[in-house]
Amino acid sequence: MLQTCNPDELLIFSFIIKTEQPQNPKPSRERKPKSLRVGKKDIMKKAITLTILLNMTFFVNAQLLNNSGTFPVDKSVTHLSTNEKIIGKQINSLTEIQKATTHVNFSTEIAKLYSSFVSKSKTPETKANFSTQPLLDSIVTKNVSGINSQKEVYFYDTNGNDTTYLVYNWDNVHSKWSISSKQKYVKDNNGLILSFESYTWIAGIYFMGSTKYENTYNSDKEVLTKTVYQWDILSSNWKYSTKSENAYDVNKNLISTIDYSRDNNLNVWNESTKTEFYYDVNNILITEINSNRDILTPNWINVTKDEHKVNSIGKDTLVLEYNWDNVSSIWSISSKTKYIYDSNNNLTGFENWDWNSDTGTWVGVAKLELVLNSNKMLLSSVTYMWDSGTSTWKGFAKTTVSYYTNNLEQFMITYKPNGNSWLENTESESIYDGNNNRTIENSYNWNLVTSSWDKIQVSNYYYSLNSTFIPSLIQTEIAVYPNPVTTELQISGLKANSDITILDMSGKIVYSQKYSGKTIDVSTLTNGIYFLQITNISGRANYKFIKVHTK
């Protein structure tokens, strides 16, 4: 079903979504603080998350983001293609898998593979020419009876960067849209995220913070620091949580990441974990070592080590993971991950194994098999989990994708295991306009009784040509005053044929009229902060004003 991930659900999968990865298996330019990321011993969960999610569709209207990036990553308002939606809501169903899974090594090859799928299948609105192409304005989802279910609304700045994302759920009792969550982000002229905040609307009363972080970058657009905040319920404000600092060598290789935890009582940062990266003469990652800070001494204590074996073009073929044995002061093998490629060096799968020190044997954990077409786009993916009872691989999830002749996704079908065969589970169908913008997405569930697909909902996509951002022309020509205001708002420089909308802090529309050239009566509004939105053929402009008591 079409759902929207809350920001916390996206922390895992966003790590693996990058706009482009280097061919060499270097580490991400930014790493999640140890206190937030899955421990290196448990890194398999990231790969398992990807493999499982690559095979399960829960039609999520989540978003990409962070071309710099890693954890935690927000839900960007650049809308996902069908392929990307595989990654979403299924995270909620990973609990049992993760409990049963010890660890899997994460390779950037998987991220590169995924990036190749989504970049080739992305609809034009994702990377539209800002000056000429329409931007995604909103998505409205209804059930098969035509009853509203969910609405997503997108706002952009003058550079076409998404700045605000609002999610509404339909209130059947009051027959209106009710705000559910919002996200705000600030980006620089290069589209790099400077700050991100996400909030959840609680009980129709107030917005409670979910996630906030701030990034700084060097001249190479690589993350230097990431500061993460947590929401303090008592003060209803953000407090420091964790921080990470990255260091690079002259070849722009990430050579270390130090993570800090925050002591808000003493107002100090304490070092907690460190990851060091080592490269060969060709700048290919060969070793990474993770350590924890000893709280009693200034020493770093080894925890895990990864050794990368690569092929002739620098792609991972085998990653060995070791745990540090404090008693004997040696590295002990714990797991291995083997990566498989076709003749064109495209990743077509991997296998992960745990080392059983008691029996001296390797035990399977997870396996992924991929089939690509000639355009390196995903045709099918199958995930297997190890059956300890039979010591064989058992099918866990499967996905198939078909495309139109222009390489846009048409159908995506997910399957669940049924003995030694597969049973249809869910299906999505995407329909596009003449500009290759997705306009309709139909979602289906498989009916076991009738052996046919039952439509469960329809999502309609709406676009605006240069109308979901704030054009500089509107910004410079229009003035809204006074601010604060008591009874009447004045608008100067605005021409006719404009729509005026006022929203409160919850996103609720409290005023909506065609502009008549007269003042706007706001005397009946309760005191507080409001947003005035002006929309016309030139674009959309947003203004914030404060309503106060009449003196």
Check whether residue 63 and residue 44 sit in a common domain: yes
> Which residue has better confidence, 214 or 125?
214
pLDDT score recorded for residue 491: 87
Check whether residue 327 and residue 379 sit in a common domain: yes
- 287 falls within a domain: yes
Each residue's pLDDT tens digit, 275-312? 999 999 999 999 999 999 998 888 999 999 999 999 99
Check whether residue 486 and residue 436 sit in a common domain: no
- 2 falls within a domain: no
- 154 falls within a domain: yes
- 98 falls within a domain: yes
Q: For 423-478, give the DSSP string.
A: EEEEEEEEEE-TTS-EEEEEEEEEETTTTEEEEEEEEEEEEETT-SB--HHHHHH-
- 1 falls within a domain: no
49: pLDDT confidence band, cut at 50, 70 and 90? very low
Each residue's pLDDT tens digit, 191-231? 899 999 999 988 767 789 999 999 999 999 999 999 999 99
Check whether residue 149 and residue 206 sit in a common domain: yes
pLDDT score recorded for residue 43: 34
Q: Kind and range of the H or E element at 52?
A: helix 44-53
pLDDT score recorded for residue 539: 61
- Whether the predicted pLDDT of 460 surpasses 70: yes
Instruction: End-to-end CA distance of the chain: give it in Å, rounded.
Output: 51
Check whether residue 422 and residue 526 sit in a common domain: no
Which tokens is 275 given? 């990851």
Each residue's pLDDT tens digit, 138-172? 999 999 999 999 999 998 887 778 889 999 999 99
381: pLDDT confidence band, cut at 50, 70 and 90? very high
The total number of residues written for the chain in this structure: 551
Where is the domain boundary, 464, 483, 509?
464
> What's at 329, amino acid-wise?
S
Check whether residue 421 and residue 539 sit in a common domain: no
Q: How many angstroms separate the CA atoms of 520 and 379, rounded?
A: 55
506: pLDDT confidence band, cut at 50, 70 and 90? confident
Q: For 112-130, give the DSSP string.
A: HHHHHHHHHH--GGGG--T
Q: Cβ(525)–Cβ(503) under 8 Å?
A: no
Q: How many angstroms separate the CA atoms of 253 and 505, rounded?
A: 43
Check whether residue 419 and residue 504 sit in a common domain: no
3-state secondary structure of 196: strand
Q: How many domains does the chain have?
A: 2
494: pLDDT confidence band, cut at 50, 70 and 90? confident
CATH of the domain at 529: 2.60.40.3080
279: CB partners within 8 A, 6+ apart: 26, 249, 251, 253, 285, 286
Check whether residue 213 and residue 301 sit in a common domain: yes
Check whether residue 70 and residue 196 sit in a common domain: yes
Percent of the chain's residues with pLDDT above 70: 72
Q: Cβ(365)–Cβ(354) under 8 Å?
A: yes
Where is the domain boundary, 464, 489, 505?
464
- Give just the sign of the alpha carbon dihedral 5, 70, 153, 406: negative
Fill in the DSSP letter of residue 324: E
Which tokens is 530 given? 């409001």
Each residue's pLDDT tens digit, 324-349? 999 999 999 999 999 999 999 999 99
Fill in the DSSP letter of residue 66: -
Burial classification of residue 38, based on how many CB atoms lie within 10 Å of its CB (0-12 exposed, 13-18 middle, 19 or more buried): buried
pLDDT score recorded for residue 235: 85
107: CB partners within 8 A, 6+ apart: 25, 47, 316, 319, 337, 339, 350
Q: Kind and range of the H or E element at 12?
A: helix 10-14
Longest dimension (CA), the chain: 83
Give the number of other Cβ atoms within 10 Å of residue 321's Cβ.
25
pLDDT score recorded for residue 20: 28
Check whether residue 386 and residue 485 sit in a common domain: no
Fill in the DSSP letter of residue 17: -
264-301 burial: b if 16+ Cβ within 10 Å, else e: eeeeebebbbbbbbebeeeebbeebbbbbbeeeeeebe
- 366 falls within a domain: yes
486: containing domain = 472-547
550: pLDDT confidence band, cut at 50, 70 and 90? low
186: pLDDT confidence band, cut at 50, 70 and 90? very high
Q: How many angstroms separate the CA atoms of 443 and 59, rounded?
A: 8
Check whether residue 501 and residue 376 sit in a common domain: no
CA angle 398-402-403, nearest 5°? 150
Where is the domain boundary, 440, 464, 488?
464
Check whether residue 460 and residue 477 sit in a common domain: no
The per-residue pLDDT of the chain, averaged, comes to 76
pLDDT score recorded for residue 466: 43
> Which residue has better confidence, 5 or 500?
500
Lowest mean pLDDT among 332-336, 425-429, 503-507: 503-507
pLDDT score recorded for residue 1: 27
Each residue's pLDDT tens digit, 238-250? 999 999 999 999 9
- 183 falls within a domain: yes
In the chain, DSSP finds a helix count (H) and a strand count (E) of 6, 31
pLDDT score recorded for residue 145: 93
- Whether the predicted pLDDT of 78 surpasses 50: no
Percent of the chain's residues with pLDDT above 90: 51
pLDDT score recorded for residue 296: 86
> What's at 292, amino acid-wise?
N
pLDDT score recorded for residue 538: 63
- Whether the predicted pLDDT of 27 surpasses 90: no
- 109 falls within a domain: yes
